[in-house]
């Protein structure tokens, strides 16, 4: 009887340790300026049009100073972001928390908001998640840093932090 109770206790402690390790690793990655977090969601890259968020990706306010930004990377466009391809820029207000959720509709791409800690891969079937605290008004370039085909070197976008 008592053994069961101790086993539960140990199980609980083990779980706490695991959570602690993961938190340490995640925090360490943020501190190093490179964040690659996958929230574990899987989705069909061929069927993003029906997805509640990636079907119409963009900026969504989720708190007083917090925004979720859904981005689809595809050859050779970020939706939203790639203004030269007719996409709107990613526009968020100054001094806010911006949670990016990034996936790919075709091959592996990169997603780097230059000058911030947002630097991850966009993998078909997966959702990468990275949070950026933005300061004052500024424009940021977005680049694809994974070779994704002939148009790779021109795959870029724009984020505007506005007053």
Q: Give the interface with ligand CUA as residue ranges (CB under 6 A).
A: 76, 109-110, 144, 146-148, 152, 155
Q: Nearest approach, Cβ of 56 to ligand CUA (angstroms)?
A: 21
Give the Cα separation of 129 and 111 in Å (integer).
11
**Considering beta carbons, is residue 128 or 161 the nearer one to ligand CUA?**
128
Q: Nearest approach, Cβ of 63 to ligand CUA (angstroms)?
A: 30
Q: Nearest approach, Cβ of 128 to ligand CUA (angstroms)?
A: 13
**Considering beta carbons, is residue 98 or 144 the nearer one to ligand CUA?**
144
Give the Cα separation of 158 and 140 in Å (integer).
6
- DSSP states of 48-110: GGGSTTTTS--EEEEETTEEEEEEEEETTEEETT-GGGTPPPEEEESSEEEEEEEEESSS-EE
Q: Nearest approach, Cβ of 17 to ligand CUA (angstroms)?
A: 38
**Considering beta carbons, is residue 124 or 134 the nearer one to ligand CUA?**
124
**Quick one: which of 39, 104, 34, 95 has its CA closest to 67?**
95
Kindly give, in sequence order, each residue whose CB lies less than 8 Å from that of residue 17, ignoring residues fewer than 6 positions away: none
Kindly give, in sequence order, each residue whose CB lies less than 8 Å from that of residue 158, ignoring residues fewer than 6 positions away: 81, 82, 83, 89, 90, 139, 140, 141, 142
**Considering beta carbons, is residue 134 or 142 the nearer one to ligand CUA?**
142
Q: Nearest approach, Cβ of 94 to ligand CUA (angstroms)?
A: 28
**Considering beta carbons, is residue 53 or 152 the nearer one to ligand CUA?**
152
């Amino acid at each position: 009887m008592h053994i069961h109770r101790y086993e539960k206790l140990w199980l609980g402690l083990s779980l706490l340790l695991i959570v602690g390790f993961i938190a340490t690793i995640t925090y360490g990655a943020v501190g190093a300026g490179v964040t690659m977090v996958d929230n574990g969601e899987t989705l069909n890259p061929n069927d993003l049009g029906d997805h509640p968020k990636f079907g119409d990706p963009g900026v969504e306010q989720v708190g007083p100073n917090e925004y979720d930004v859904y981005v689809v990377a595809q050859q050779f466009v970020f939706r939203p972001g790639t203004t030269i391809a007719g996409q709107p820029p990613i526009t968020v207000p100054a001094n806010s928390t911006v949670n990016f959720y990034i996936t790919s509709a075709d091959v592996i791409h990169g997603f780097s908001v230059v000058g911030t800690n947002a630097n991850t891969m966009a993998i078909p079937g997966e959702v990468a998640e990275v949070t950026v605290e933005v300061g004052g008004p500024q424009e940021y370039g977005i680049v694809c840093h994974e070779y994704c085909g002939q148009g790779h070197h021109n795959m870029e976008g724009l984020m505007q932090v506005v007053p």
